Chains A and B, each alone.
Chain A
Amino acid sequence: MNNDKNVNKKVLKKFLNLLDKGLDMKTCLAHFPDERENLEHYIAIIGNFKNLRNIRVDKDFENNSLKGIYLRTRIENIKNREKISKKGGLLVRLRPAYLKPLVIFLGIFIFMSFSFAGTLYASESSIPGDTLYSLKRTSEGIHIAFTPYKYEKGIYLKLLETRLSEADSILNKTDYTNTAAAEKLMFDIDITYKKCLERKYLGADQNEHTQIRIKGIEEGFRYRYGMQ
């Protein structure tokens, strides 16, 4: 009995697939001569559904509905216009769908900018070996990259002064033990100083004063870290 039912299911599936392929019922039925009696019930059911297409709508209802839709839209538009004018017009009208994500994006952007500016400001007083020192050096690099050649004098003099101040800070710190960073700083001071000399940014007095400072720093580093 159960087996019979399964066979019928398979046949029904095949029959429905043939119908889906667009074959008419008579042709589909011809494929299953043994199951004809069983399938006739299904055909009758499916076929009868087609009668439901004969449900007709009252023409007056159809026409009146259309008029109703236009009227409803007009009323809705008037209401919307009133709402806009009550809420202050332009601001509401200029509120596209993407405004919300845009506001969120701008908010995040402003927050990030302020955070970055704060971090950058904090990195100004950092010395070699500090976490924020690399940020400080990167911002200096960007600053130089975007400065026109004729204004570079001021930048390089400021950089030299910054490096010397960093060296002073290291010497003032009795617990500073990062020898590698101190060595790197000495090297940077040397390069920056040479660049300033090459481009003749330093006046005679200024040069003399800088040389004295550099010598003092070198001696200090040699005494503390045993540099050559």
Chain B
Amino acid sequence: MDDKELDHCIKSFKKTGDNLYYEKIYRFFFQKIHRFVLLNISDSQAAEDITVDVFYNVYRYMTKVHLNSASFKPWIYKITRNLIIDYYRKEAKHKKSQSLEQYLEDKQSDGLGEEGKVDKSFVVESFMDSDSTDLIESQFTNHDILKGLYSLPDIQKQVIILRFVEELNYKSIGLIINKNELAVRAIKFRAISRLKELMVK
């Protein structure tokens, strides 16, 4: 779905309320949003609930907010981020939240990449195509990448996911995390430097 089509769907849904337009948007964003939630929350059941909540909120409020293709992406990711924050707040309140170390230990013992909802869906292969960078071979497994990602502070983790996985621009990321573009670049830089320290010893 390109920007033009997304614009058309947003406007048409606002005008007619026809679920067909919502469904197009839903199908286009569902994978992305669920992936973003999964990479932020270790509990796959909670991640599913949050994803559904995101799209329920989108369905309810899309007609009430002035949106276009440029503002829709930051808006939907911001809703997602807020629900993730709410989840962590609730978790902290009920003291049910797992510590990071515990989570990583559990993942390791489970065998990351073999079991669990997130891991099952990984295509474990090198990112480097032989035609693009023939000299460089993939040095890390998905296990390493996830381990590194979960070691980062939340804000760095989210910037990395939004930039490299979801391929959003700095302006959109800034809107999602309430920071300016320079700050987003700085966070990304720190995150990558930290990941290298963690992963390359």
Which residues in A have some Cβ–Cβ distance to B below 8 Å? 9, 12-13, 16, 20, 24-26, 29, 40-57, 61-62, 65-66, 68-70, 72-73, 76
Contacts and interface: CB of A to CB of B under 8 A. Distances in A.
Contacts of A25: 132-133
25 contacts: A9-B193, A12-B189, A12-B192, A12-B193, A16-B185, A42-B192, A45-B195, A47-B128, A49-B145, A49-B165, A51-B122, A51-B145, A52-B122, A52-B142, A52-B165, A54-B121, A55-B118, A56-B121, A62-B30, A65-B30, A65-B48, A66-B55, A69-B55, A69-B59, A73-B56
Interface of B: 19, 23, 26-27, 30-31, 34-35, 38-39, 48, 51-52, 55-56, 59-60, 118, 121-125, 127-128, 132-133, 136, 138-140, 142, 144-145, 148, 160-161, 164-165, 170, 185, 188-189, 192-193, 195-196, 199-200
B160 A49 contact: yes
Nearest to A65: B52
Contacts of A62: 27, 30-31
B31 A49 contact: no
B188 A16 contact: yes
B165 A50 contact: yes
B31 A57 contact: yes
Nearest to A50: B127
Contacts of B55: 65-66, 69
Looking at B39, B59, B192, B199, which has the most chain A CB atoms within 10 Å of its CB?
B192
Nearest to B48: A61
A47 B59 contact: no
Q: Which 4 A-B residue pairs are closest in the complex by CB-CB distance?
A: A47-B127, A49-B164, A54-B123, A44-B139
Contacts of B139: 40-41, 44
A53 B148 contact: no
A50 B164 contact: yes
